Amino acid sequence: MLKWFAPGQRRFSAFGEYGSGTPPEIPLVQLLNIDQNNLKPFTKDILDPGQSEDLRASLSELSRGIRAYFQFQDILDLSMDADGIPTINRHYTYYESLVYLRESVMSWLDKNTLAALTLLRPFLELSVFHVYWYLMCRGKSYAPYYAWLKSGEGKPGFKRALVDIFENLPANGWASEGRLKELKRTMQRMYEGLCTYNHTPRVDQSTASGGGGLGEVDLVTYLYYLESVNILLRQVVYLYVLTYPMSLFPVEKHEKWGFESGPIGLFFDTTNYAVLEAYIGPSDIGTLKESLEVREDTKSLRGWFGSLRSLTPEEIESEWQRFAQSIPGFTRQDAKSIGERVALVKAFHRSAGWALNYIVEPARDDFPDEMLRLIRERLKTWERKSEHLENR
């Protein structure tokens, strides 16, 4: 049995990307880190490029939606709160939502539609509660969040959480009020619909009513999942954009800080933004930018970045050498172009983010000043696996 399971030592992996122009599509199996050698014949057939145009379009939307949601790993901050509580496990609910999203889509690809639908509710809850805790605790204290993380107490119901979120969104007063109300209504309705599969479905709600019993899945239910997850992902991504308005205003962080210094999170780079724009669409994302670029904190952060001195090419090279030397098992010659280097650094920091949010030991006094050093020590090996993507 052991050949089918991961080694005993925990390993966290992630991918990074960097490029210019419209991002080429990443296949679902690569995006979700699925072993293509073990795909079922059914799954291979569903993913076959020869499928109908409508199905391929829906699968493409799903891939772009997942990829857009993945981007928010790079904007999660690691700042201390007012009580000096460390950042360990700070963004656990977001990372756990990625786990549930992957498991849900994989279940669907394996034709386990009921399991796929059932996993969508915890995905929605986890993604929404990341936003809830962020908005309720930022600039104050994360003590309530850590109390919930430890005891499971203090978390409001989903409906109450949505009310609190939409009363405290950074986009309030700037984004369309009608669009915000519709987003809130849609998320509430989707949550209520998904609860059906976690509680006691009536006969007309049962997935077996269309399939005909155990082991049978009808096509309508199968496609219903695909449209449901696409609608759900779009709402979640919109909510995250409204929560993190700086995602709409990308910068090239390495030009100011190199590959290790500077704030963690806070900004998107141009590739993060390109992925987001490809999903939301140029028109809609343009409208959002026009609404949110006049916010005082948005203008302030953009102005601050613009006021910083840009590093010279020699300084950027020196910063790269310093970063590469600090990573166990990393070779400075692994990446030569700026694009490769930014992508590798992004992959490293995403992997570190996973590790940091799943540590279950007591926090140490030297967090967060020594955080990255400790994380590097935990990452005993740094394996580079790269694939060339055209135009990237």
pLDDT by residue (tens digit) across 345-372? 888 889 888 888 887 655 444 444 455 5
Q: If pLDDT is split at 50, 70 and 90, which confidence band does 205 have?
A: low
Among candidate residues 109, 73, 79, the one with its CA nearest the CA of residue 94: 73
Q: Give the pLDDT confidence score for residue 10 in this predicted structure.
A: 64
Q: Give the pLDDT confidence score for residue 119 in this predicted structure.
A: 96
Q: Which residue has the higher pLDDT, 208 or 282?
A: 282
Query: Is residue 80 scored above 70 in pLDDT?
Result: no
Q: Give the pLDDT confidence score for residue 330 in this predicted structure.
A: 65
Q: Give the pLDDT confidence score for residue 22 in this predicted structure.
A: 87
Cβ contact 199:118 at 8 Å: no
Q: If pLDDT is split at 50, 70 and 90, which confidence band does 228 have?
A: very high
* Mean pLDDT, residues 174-202 taken together: 88
Q: If pLDDT is split at 50, 70 and 90, which confidence band does 188 have?
A: very high
Please state whether 265 falls in left (phi above 0), alpha (psi between -120 and 50) or beta: left
Structure tokens at 216: 């049978």
Structure tokens at 227: 């449209």
What is the rounded CA–CA span in Å between residue 331 and residue 345? Answer: 13
* Mean pLDDT, residues 64-87 taken together: 81
Structure tokens at 172: 């309030």
Q: Give the pLDDT confidence score for residue 239 in this predicted structure.
A: 97
Handedness of CA 129, 102, 100, 94 (dihedral sign): negative
Query: Is residue 384 scored above 90 in pLDDT?
Result: no
Query: Is residue 203 scored above 80 in pLDDT?
Result: no
Q: Give the pLDDT confidence score for residue 161 in this predicted structure.
A: 96
Q: Give the pLDDT confidence score for residue 141 in this predicted structure.
A: 86
* Mean pLDDT, residues 205-219 taken together: 69
What is the rounded CA–CA span in Å between residue 241 and residue 164? Answer: 17
Among candidate residues 213, 175, 270, 228, the one with its CA nearest the CA of residue 61: 228
Q: Which residue has the higher pLDDT, 74 or 210?
A: 74
* Mean pLDDT, residues 243-256 taken together: 94
**Which residue stretches of 212-328 are H helix?**
219-243, 254-257, 270-280, 282-292, 296-307, 313-325
Which tens digits make up the pLDDT trace of 265-320? Answer: 889 999 999 999 999 999 999 999 998 888 888 899 999 999 999 999 999 999 88
Structure tokens at 139: 């600039």
**Long-range CB contact pairs, 30-37, < 8 A, 24+:** 30/387, 31/63, 31/66, 31/67, 31/70, 32/66, 32/102, 32/105, 32/106, 33/102, 34/106, 34/109
Q: Which residue has the higher pLDDT, 388 or 219?
A: 219
Q: How far is CA 100 from CA 106, 151, 233, in A?
A: 10, 21, 13
Query: Is residue 59 scored above 60 in pLDDT?
Result: yes
Q: Cis peptide before 368, with omega less than 30 degrees from 0?
A: yes
What is the rounded CA–CA span in Å between residue 343 and residue 18? Answer: 5
Which tens digits make up the pLDDT trace of 148-179? Answer: 999 999 999 999 999 999 999 988 888 889 99
* Mean pLDDT, residues 44-54 taken together: 89
Q: Give the pLDDT confidence score for residue 138 in this predicted structure.
A: 86
What average pLDDT does the chain have? 85
Query: Is residue 199 scored above 90 in pLDDT?
Result: no
Structure tokens at 161: 């959480």
DSSP 3-state percent helix, strand, coil across the chain (nearest 5): 60, 0, 40
**Which residue stretches of 110-218 are H helix?**
113-137, 143-151, 158-168, 177-195, 208-211
Q: Give the pLDDT confidence score for residue 204 in this predicted structure.
A: 67
Q: Name the helix (H) or strand (E) containing 67.
A: helix 53-70
Which tens digits make up the pLDDT trace of 320-338? Answer: 888 888 776 666 556 788 9
Q: Give the pLDDT confidence score for residue 241 in this predicted structure.
A: 96
Q: Give the pLDDT confidence score for residue 231 in this predicted structure.
A: 96
Q: How far is CA 122 from CA 40, 150, 184, 225, 283, in A?
A: 26, 19, 17, 15, 31
Percent of the chain with pLDDT over 90: 51
Query: Is residue 45 scored above 80 in pLDDT?
Result: yes
Which tens digits make up the pLDDT trace of 94-108? Answer: 999 999 999 999 999
Q: Give the pLDDT confidence score for residue 20 in this predicted structure.
A: 82
